Structure formats: structure tokens, C-alpha cells
Structure 1
Amino acid sequence: AQQRRPTGENWLCSENEVGVAVNSLAETLAAISKIRARGHHKIVVKEALGLAGSNAMRLFEPEILETHRRWLANAFQQKRQLVVEPWLERELDFSIQLEMSAQGLKLCGFTGLLNDAKGQFQGNFAESHHHKRIPARVISLFPEAADTSGRLLRFYEEIFARLEAELRAVNFVGPVGIDAFVYRDASGVTRLKPVVEINPRYTMGRVLVELMKQTAQGSCGTFRLINHPALRAEGFENFHGYARSLAEKFPLQLEGEPFSKIRAGALCLNDPVPAQVCLAVFQVGRMPDALTPQASRPAWCSP
């Protein structure tokens, strides 16, 4: 089906796409029924406090199964609040990295967020203007909307102001990440879900923002966690062999004086010889499309 594009203010999600907090099985079933009555069959239920999409359950079946009920009952037995929301067809995930200090909330940068079909972390990418602008790939999903970049930045400034007030109220100081994504609704219109979750901690996106400080101006970068399925998919049996291949294909290129920065190349952030679970890889280049998983399609492990 041909994809329609948003116009006017039709770029933002509606209240119906916002998650509903629940504290009991009865509340959960009521929320599920209400969402499905609006035409959203696929639903996700997640813990209000989760990590990298791991504390979530997808409800794609027509009926609530007994396994689903046990999962819900166990969560409520442990006094955990849950959030029920419609499953949305993602086009692109991204994150906003912030730092809260006594002086206020500061923007550190934007990164593209690469998740698997279950919404779990795979990797991040940063464009050359990541420290002040939303990824161009996000903007490109709204080609018919006027001044999309400026509009989104102004919109997020309002969110930052509200978030700063909330953080001050609880005396929070430290790193903060906001996950968001662009999705396609049932009619084919692309919309923004501006806040999926707020992470009051160092995130993988923040790691990439800090790594990008070591790159030459105009560079793009990716931060990936390569696991055993990725090794096998690319024909390798161990991390050492994969790291050696990276060094041969993408040798590190430095430039600048008196302090050199990375212009291009791949760098392993942990020792590949003793690595058992995954290998952290930072790759730098001039063109983002050549660095991201859309080009190489490797499988990554969850942090």
C-alpha cells in the first residue's frame, strides 16, 4: 500500500497511542479491551521500570493466554506497575542524550537507535551533526511537513523544560536518555512517538555521544555489540578472528594536530581474545549509510 505522509500537525501521536499505567489484572484486561476496541490488535505490556525492552510481553494472539496471565500475576505479586500500550509499526528509533546538573538540563546529542523486532537494543548510530540536530533519517520520514527539524527541536525543548522541573523536584543529577521513534499508523501516515521511555542512567546512546568526541569534524559513527550469531552470520568462529578482519578492512585513520582524532576505521572497545559474550565495536566514517546495520545487517546482542 502506498504510504501517506503527515501534513500540518498530523505528525504527532495521539493520546490513544500513549501507554496506560495499570496495577492489577483487572485494570490490565480493561486497558487491553479498550485498546483493541479502537482497532489496535497487537499490544505490548511492559514493566514501568524495565531495561532494554527485556521486561515486556507482546500480546499478538486473539485471546489472552494462560502464560500471559501468569506473567501478569507474577508482576503484580511483586508489586510492579505495568504499562499497556498498542504495538506500533516502527519506522525508525532514536534517542536524546541529556545531562542534569545544578545548572539545569543540558542537551548532549541525538543518536539513531537500532532495535530488533521485539524492541530490544542492537546498536546506535550518530550523524556528523548529532550534538545539536535530530538525525536526518528521522526528518526524511516527514518530507511534506514544513520545517520538520525546527518544529521537532522546539517541541523537544518544551519536553526538556518539563523534565528538568521533574528532575529538580527529586534532586536528580546525572545522565538522562529519552527513547523515541517514528511509526506508521493504520492509514499509512508517519507519526512521532516523542517519549517511549526515560532512562535516568548512562545509556548506549550516551556512550556513543562520548565516543564521538574522539572523532574528526564531519564524521559519522556507530556503536555495536557483536554476539555469536553475528560472528556465525559473517563466517567467523571467534571474536579474535572478527576483530582481525575489522582491522584489515577498516584500518584506523587519524588526523589533526597536536591531538589526533579518528577520521575513519573500526575500533574494538574490549579485548577480543578473552571476550565470551560480545564484542563492542566503534566504527567511524564519512557516510552514515555505510556504517549502519541497514548496510551490513549483522545481529547484535542485547546489553
Structure 2
Amino acid sequence: MQKSDSVLKKPNSGSGKGLVWIKGKITDKQMDWCRRVIRQQGGVVVEPVLDKVLDFAFEYRMSGGDASFAGYSLFRTTASGAYEGNYLLADEKIETVLAAYAPLEDFLILRALLTRKLAEYFPRYNGYIGVDMMICRTRHGFRIQPCVEINMRMNMGVLARGFYDRFLQKNASGVFKIDYFKRPGDALAHAGELERKYSLRVERRKIVSGCLPMTPVTEETKYMAYALIFQEYESLIPSHSMSPF
């Protein structure tokens, strides 16, 4: 990453799409992209490329002009910024992860501030809002980027939070993933391998461990969503080298 590296964003886009990465100097092709987006959406967002070490989000529920905190989301993205998957963890464990980078009190203050501001800015909106954030590395240590983007919709973080709270045993943890396969049959083969390697274990109607496909998988499947559940979360985070992603 160079000091002059930047990322261009469409004002209205989703799931890490609508991004253009500038390495040093902007190209003619990128300028054409900017002109097209400005005609369509009225502007382009330009931000410096940060040295990101962790993606996370605060999830909120809006109803009747009030905002309430709905849980944390800890997730992964590809190098280009596209969504890759969510960690399945209790909120308390996610707080432990975040507190390794900055005082927990800072996150709690930010959480309360956003609760007030979202209610102030979006009093007529009813539904979920996800505020994506980052932990970034700087010369002065780790810092919080408090608003990468705002997703005013049911989003993957809310889905992961609800899936964990409703279906996983209290001490279980894992990952929710979306994988892409180019060739016919690859997704089906991968699903079979996962189910053989991680057989699903359920106790008292709660998942303890194993693999759970969350979409139908056929010979023609290109995208596959599934959850991998484990009993220990220390092997998942914060050391991404140990991550199952």
C-alpha cells in the first residue's frame, strides 16, 4: 500500500461491490467510471486505503423512530472488499476480540452514540441497519474506523447473529461462509467433502458442531452458503492464519 492509494465508492451499492481501487495515479478507465457513476448517482466517494486488520459491524433494529442495538457482526472480506463470510460467536466473545485492539469502553461509547444518531437521522425507517467498521493499523497503534458504510436492510451480519442465537449451543462457535465455484460439479463435491469431514452434531435441538449447508447444492450450483460449527473459538480469532476462511 502506498500513501497515495485510494478507493472509489459508489454512494449506493452493497456487499463490497461498486468499488474501484486506485494504485498511485488514477487511470483514464477509472476516470470514465467516475463520470458514469456521477451521472447515475450524483457523486463518487473517495477515501484513502487503510491498513485494515479486522472487519466488524454494529447491528441495529429501527422501529417507530427508536434504534436498539441488535448485536455485533465480525466478518471477513476478500482483498477487493467483497463479502466472504461471518464468524459465528456470542456477542461477549466478539467484545473480547475487539478489546484486543482498543479499550472495550471505546466500543461501548460508540455503540451508544450510534444508537442516538441513527434514531435522529432515520426516524421514519423501520428495519435493520448495519454500520460496517474496521480496526486499522497506524503508526500510533490500532485505531477504529467507525463508519465504512451503512447498510439499511436485512444484512449478512444480522443473519449470522440470528443464526447463532437461535440454532447454536451456548459454547459453540464457527463461521458462516459463501463460496463461489466456477466449474459444474465442484460445489457438489465440496459439499460432500465437508459433510464427510464435519458431520453435524445436534443436542437438545441446538447445533454443537459440524457442517450445515444452508442452500441446495446440485451439479450446476455456483454459489454455496454453509455454516461450519466448532466447540472452541480460540482457533478462529484473532489469528487469521488459523482461520477456516
Secondary structure of the corresponding residue to residue 191 of structure 1: strand
- Specify the alignment match of 1:172 in structure 2: 125
Offset at residue 98 of structure 1 (A): 1.5
Contact 1:97 1:110 in 2 (8 A): yes
Secondary structure of the corresponding residue to residue 170 of structure 2: coil
Offset at residue 158 of structure 1 (A): 1.0
Q: Does 1:276 align with 2:221?
A: yes
What residue ranges of structure 1 are gaps of 5+ in the alignment? 1-38, 143-147, 299-303
Q: 1:297 to 1:111 in 2, by over 3 A?
A: same
Q: Does 1:225 align with 2:178?
A: yes
- Specify the alignment match of 2:141 in structure 1: 189
Please, what TM-score do these two structures have when normalized by structure 2? 0.89
Offset at residue 219 of structure 1 (A): 1.8
Q: How does 1:1-303 map to 2 (within 5 A)?
A: 40-61=3-24, 63-102=25-64, 104-128=66-90, 130=91, 134-142=94-102, 148-168=103-123, 171-185=124-138, 187=139, 189-212=141-164, 213-228=166-181, 238-256=186-204, 260-273=205-218, 276-290=221-235, 294-295=241-242, 298=245
Q: Residue type matched to 1:151 in 2?
A: D
Partner Cα separation in structure 2 for residue 118 and residue 51 of structure 1? 13
Contact 1:133 1:149 in 2 (8 A): no
Secondary structure of the corresponding residue to residue 122 of structure 2: helix
Offset at residue 99 of structure 1 (A): 1.1
Q: Residue type matched to 1:102 in 2?
A: G
- How many residues in Structure 1 have an aligned counterpart in Structure 2? 241
Offset at residue 46 of structure 1 (A): 0.6
Q: Residue type matched to 2:226 in 1?
A: V
Contact 1:134 1:149 in 2 (8 A): no
Partner Cα separation in structure 1 for residue 180 and residue 41 of structure 2? 34
Offset at residue 75 of structure 1 (A): 1.2
Partner Cα separation in structure 1 for residue 106 and residue 51 of structure 2? 23
Contact 2:188 2:221 in 1 (8 A): no
Partner Cα separation in structure 2 for residue 291 and residue 48 of structure 1? 33
Percent of aligned pairs with the same residue? 22
Q: Residue type matched to 1:160 in 2?
A: T
Offset at residue 290 of structure 1 (A): 4.2
Q: 1:115 to 1:188 in 2, by over 3 A?
A: farther
1:66-93 residue CA offsets vs partner (Å, 9 max, x unmatched): 1121111111222432111111010100
1:173-194 residue CA offsets vs partner (Å, 9 max, x unmatched): 0111110000112x25210001
Partner Cα separation in structure 2 for residue 288 and residue 96 of structure 1? 20
Which structure's residues are more often strand, by fraction? 2
Partner Cα separation in structure 2 for residue 95 and residue 286 of structure 1? 24
Secondary structure of the corresponding residue to residue 50 of structure 1: coil
Offset at residue 267 of structure 1 (A): 0.2
Contact 1:127 1:135 in 2 (8 A): no
Secondary structure of the corresponding residue to residue 244 of structure 1: helix
Contact 2:50 2:136 in 1 (8 A): yes
Please, what TM-score do these two structures have when normalized by structure 1? 0.73
Offset at residue 138 of structure 1 (A): 2.3
